Amino acid sequence: MNPLEIFRYAFEALRERRTRSILTILMVLIGAALMTALNGMNAGMENFVLSSFSSLSPNSLIVVPGTSSVTLDAHDVTLLKKVSGVDDAVPFIQGAAILHSGVKTLRVMVAGFDQSKINLLYPTAELEEGSFISPYDSTGMVLGSKIAMPPGETRPFAWVGKVVTAEYKHTSIEPSGQIKREAVKRSFVVKGVLKYTGAPGFANVDRSALVSLQAANSLFKRGSHYDGIIVITASTDLNSKVEKEILKLYSGNVMVISPKAIVQVIEKTMAGFTTFTVSIAMVSLMVAAVGIITTLFTSVMERTREIGLLKALGFKNWHVLVMFLSEALIVGIIGGSLGLVAGYFGAHLLLMRPVQFSHSAALIQPLFEVEGLVFVWLFTLAISLLAGFYPAWRASKLNPVEALRKE
């Protein structure tokens, strides 16, 4: 007998018990959808977090003051450059400010650093038009692409040659103990606009305005103290050695942040999280497997006489086995395929709203890889077949005389 005919026969049998079949398919669907969606959302989340940090090159270390008594200035840059294994040291000052362009305003991150070293900070940054500004230019500004052209707007916020004003609300404590607030305003001329990098994250270059170090110092009233110094090591292998050296140099009064170490911690954490969520999805697939077992067993019970008849008509044991396995497989194929689609769209739906961060909102896109989807699909099929095997085997072993006698 042609196995395709058995498959068709099994399909007819499933259609006869429509409600029950649909419910079983639904169980499989939910399991497969959960697995697909959780996988995709986890991968998307991991990708998002990683790209936020990986925009900094892996052989960089960020040195920031560890206590309020410590300050970093030009002297520290010279000092850090002398540490063995260090190629370069780039000081930076950054803060949040409100940008005015004509009647329009925008909340942005303003970062000041030597722009000839921009690719040490943002390796993917490139100019769309205009030019970078020199370290001595206190009025030039380079805009990230989302500032020049905010998403959802039809007209640009600012362009090369446009004069904009940055406003910073400075808060300080007077010797008398009074809190003093003042608005600091500085005018800038847009000298360049960056290409869109697409790198999401907290230090999002697309949503940053870049100025010279001294301009940032003046705007944020830092008194020539840097927010931090980015140290570029000769190679990533030297990161931990250089880190130790620096800590020793400052007797532990600075903090050294290693983007590479952060990435490793994130990867590890996400892997653990993925295992956890995917095992939840697995449990739901196991429940579906039990559903298949009970449904098929009920079917074998109800169709005992039919099995007896088929054997009398010449069905071999393996024909009966294949027939019931086909039913399990059909349930697996339909449930798994629909589950994949449901999980794919479900994940997009769940992550449709932007996630809010302190300075910006970001869209986390679920990430699906073909191999991952194929794996979930095959896994669902395998589980379905496995669940179907025992009832199918029992059916194949039925004694035809007894089966035919059954009421």
Partner 1 sequence: MKTVEEAKYAAETVDLTKVYRSGAYKVYALRNVNIKIRRGEFLAVVGPSGSGKSTLLNLLGTLDQPTSGKILIDGFDTSKLSGGELARLRSQKIGFVFQAYNLINRTSVLRNLELPAMILGVPAGERRRRALELLELMGLRKEAYRKPTELSGGEQQRVAIARALMNNPALVLADEPTGNLDSKTGRSIFELLRKLCHEQGATVVVVTHNLELASMTDRIIHLRDGVVVKEEEVKAG
**Pick 212 or 396: Cβ nearer partner 1:** 396
Is 315 a binding residue for partner 1 by CB under 8 A? The answer is: yes
**Pick 267 or 302: Cβ nearer partner 1:** 302
- As measured in angstroms, the least distance from the Cβ of 394 to partner 1 is 16
Is 301 a binding residue for partner 1 by CB under 8 A? The answer is: no
Residue that is written with structure tokens 């589980």 in the block: 383
Is 5 a binding residue for partner 1 by CB under 8 A? The answer is: yes
Classified as helix, coil or strand, 208 is: strand
The residues facing 60 across adjacent strands are: 232
**Which of 272, 316, 350, 361: binder of partner 1 (CB under 8 A)?**
316
Size of the site for partner 1 (CB under 8 A): 23
Is 356 a binding residue for partner 1 by CB under 8 A? The answer is: no
Is 378 a binding residue for partner 1 by CB under 8 A? The answer is: no
DSSP strands (E only) in 46-205: 60-65, 86-101, 104-112, 127-130, 140-143, 163-173, 179-194
- As measured in angstroms, the least distance from the Cβ of 6 to partner 1 is 9
Tell me how many degrees the CA angle 41-47-254 measures, rounded to the nearest 5: 125
Tell me how many degrees the CA angle 95-107-149 measures, rounded to the nearest 5: 120
Is 321 a binding residue for partner 1 by CB under 8 A? The answer is: no
Is 2 a binding residue for partner 1 by CB under 8 A? The answer is: yes
Is 314 a binding residue for partner 1 by CB under 8 A? The answer is: yes
Which ranges constitute the DSSP H helices of 250-316?
259-302, 304-312
**Pick 13 or 334: Cβ nearer partner 1:** 13
Q: Please, are residues 208 and 144 in contact by the beta-carbon 8 Å criterion?
A: yes
- As measured in angstroms, the least distance from the Cβ of 302 to partner 1 is 12
Classified as helix, coil or strand, 99 is: strand
Classified as helix, coil or strand, 346 is: helix
**Which of 73, 87, 167, 306: binder of partner 1 (CB under 8 A)?**
306
- As measured in angstroms, the least distance from the Cβ of 28 to partner 1 is 23
Residue that is written with structure tokens 């006489």 in the block: 305
Name the burial class of residue 158, with classes exposed (0-12), middle (13-18) and buried (19+) by CB atoms within 10 angstroms of its CB: buried
* CA separation for the pair 346, 263 (Å, rounded): 28
Q: Please, are residues 21 and 340 in contact by the beta-carbon 8 Å criterion?
A: no
Is 398 a binding residue for partner 1 by CB under 8 A? The answer is: no
Is 207 a binding residue for partner 1 by CB under 8 A? The answer is: no
**Which of 12, 82, 179, 371: binder of partner 1 (CB under 8 A)?**
12
Could you say which DSSP state residue 115 is in?
A: G
- As measured in angstroms, the least distance from the Cβ of 311 to partner 1 is 7
**Which of 23, 280, 312, 350: binder of partner 1 (CB under 8 A)?**
312
**Which of 16, 126, 182, 369: binder of partner 1 (CB under 8 A)?**
16
Is 404 a binding residue for partner 1 by CB under 8 A? The answer is: yes
* CA separation for the pair 105, 185 (Å, rounded): 13
Is 309 a binding residue for partner 1 by CB under 8 A? The answer is: yes
Q: In the chain, what is the straight-line distance between the N-terminal and C-terminal CA atoms, in Å?
A: 28
- As measured in angstroms, the least distance from the Cβ of 21 to partner 1 is 13
Is 330 a binding residue for partner 1 by CB under 8 A? The answer is: no
Site string for partner 1, 232-271 (x = CB under 8 A): ----------------------------------------
**Which of 85, 135, 150, 400: binder of partner 1 (CB under 8 A)?**
400
Classified as helix, coil or strand, 225 is: coil
Integer angstrom CA distances of residue 32 from 113, 123, 280, 288, 320: 49, 39, 11, 10, 28
* CA separation for the pair 139, 218 (Å, rounded): 11
- As measured in angstroms, the least distance from the Cβ of 333 to partner 1 is 21
Interacting residue ranges for partner 1, rule: CB under 8 A: 1-2, 5, 12-13, 15-16, 305-306, 308-317, 319, 400-401, 404
